[in-house]
Amino acid sequence: MNHIMDLSRESWKRYFESINEKTFKATQIIEWLYSKKEYNPNNWTNFKNETREIISSSFKHNFIKIVKKEEDNLTKKYLFELEDNNHIEAVLMSHDYGLSICVSSQVGCNMGCTFCESGRLKKVRNLETYEMVEQILLIEEDIKKRISSVVIMGIGEPLDNYDNVIEFIKIINDDKGIAIGARHITLSTCGLIPKIKELQELPLQINLAISLHASNNELRSKIMPINKVYKLDDILLTVDEYIKHTNRRVTIEYVMLNNVNDNEENAKELINLLKGKNVYVNLIPYNETSHIIYKKSPKDKILKFYDILKKGGINVTIRKEFGSKISAACGQLRSKEVK
C-alpha cells in the first residue's frame, strides 16, 4: 500500500484522474501535508467526505520514529526506526548559509566501497519515498526550524533506488510544500552510468556529485568494486555528457585516505582527468570508523593535494569536517544498532 507521502504533485494528479476527482486536488493535498502539516485526511476540510474516505483507506499515513539523537556544536545525528524495525540515519548540519540535512536512501548499501561503513552492512531494502520525506519533516519538527538544503549522501546508493528518490526530490522541491530549491538539493552517486543518463533527461536543476575517490582505474577498482562495472573513464565521459545536456557544474568527491589515494602522483593524475571540465573537486577528510582499517590523510597532506590541484587549474575545496565525535560517518550510528 502506498503512503500519503509517496506521491509528488504529478502523481497525485494522475491518481485523482483515476478516481474521477478534479486534478487541482493534487495541489491542495501538497499544501495540507507539507505547508499546513495536517497529516490526517479526515481534517482536509476542502475535500469531500467521500474523497477523504477513499484516501484514508487507500493510503498509509504512519510516521517513522526518531529513536536516538547525538549532538555536537554543528551537527545533530538522528537514528530512525522504520515500520519494519529497520534503522536508518540522517544528519543535520549547520553552515554559515543555513541548515542542511543529509538523508539516507536505502537500508544498507550494495556498492561495497571498502572504506564505507554503510556498505559493510549489505542492502536490506530500498527506502520508500515517504521514509525519505519524513526524515526531513521529523528533523524540522524536532528543531522547530526550516532547513535550506538537502544532500542525498546518507546510507545507500540513491541511483540504485531511482524511482523513489526522484519522487522524493519532486516532493521536497514542490513550491506549494517544503519548497527546497533544486539548486539546494544534491544527489551523490558512486557512478551508476545508465541512471545518470536518465537523470539528465529530467527537468530538475539539482546538483550531481560523483564519488570518484581515485585517480586511476586500478586504484578505483580496489577501493570501489562498482568500478569493475562502471569504469572511471566511462563515468567521466558520462559526466561530460551530463554537463553538456544540463549546463550544470558537477561535483567530484574525493575522500582522502592516508597512503591510499592521497599522494602527489594521484593529484597529478586527477588534474589530467579533470582539466577543462566544468567540475569542482571536493576533498573529503575521511571519517575513521572502528571496523575499517583506513586512516584519514593528515592535514598537511590534504593541503598539499589541494595546492597541486589548484595550481593545475582545478576548482577545489576541502570539505569542512562535521561531527567526527558523534559517529557522523555514513552508517556508523546504524551499525552500532545492527550487531
Residues that bind ligand SAH (CB under 6 A): 111, 113, 115-117, 153, 157, 188-190, 211, 213, 253, 255, 284, 286-287, 289, 329-330
**C-beta atoms surrounding 161 within 10 Å:** 22
Which helix (H) or strand (E) element contains residue 65?
strand 65-71
Cβ 47 to ligand SAH, closest distance in Å? 38
Triad 40, 154, 151: Cα angle to 5°: 75
Q: How far is CA 40 from CA 5, 30, 47, 182, 314, in A?
A: 12, 13, 12, 28, 51
Residue 89 annotated among the catalytic residues of the structure: yes
Cβ 27 to ligand SAH, closest distance in Å? 32
Catalytic entry in 89, 128, 134, 167: 89
Q: Are 105 and 161 in contact (CB under 8 A)?
A: yes
Residue 109 annotated among the catalytic residues of the structure: no
User: Closer CB to ligand SAH, residue 116 or residue 133?
Assistant: 116
Triad 138, 120, 62: Cα angle to 5°: 25
User: Closer CB to ligand SAH, residue 15 or residue 230?
Assistant: 230
Residue 246 has which C-alpha cell?
544540463
**What is the residue-wise DSSP string for 137-190?**
HHHHHHHTS---EEEE-SSS-GGGGHHHHHHHHHHHH-TTTT---GGGEEEEES
Cβ 288 to ligand SAH, closest distance in Å? 7
Cβ 109 to ligand SAH, closest distance in Å? 6
Triad 230, 235, 239: Cα angle to 5°: 155
Cβ 163 to ligand SAH, closest distance in Å? 17
User: Closer CB to ligand SAH, residue 86 or residue 186?
Assistant: 186
Cβ 201 to ligand SAH, closest distance in Å? 21
Q: Are 169 and 207 in contact (CB under 8 A)?
A: no
CA–CA dist 49, 41 (Å, integer): 10
- 3-class secondary structure, 236: helix
| Residue showing cell 597512503 | 259
User: Closer CB to ligand SAH, residue 54 or residue 292?
Assistant: 292
Catalytic entry in 102, 109, 116, 330: 330
User: Closer CB to ligand SAH, residue 41 or residue 191?
Assistant: 191
User: Closer CB to ligand SAH, residue 246 or residue 287?
Assistant: 287
Residues annotated catalytic, as ranges: 89, 330
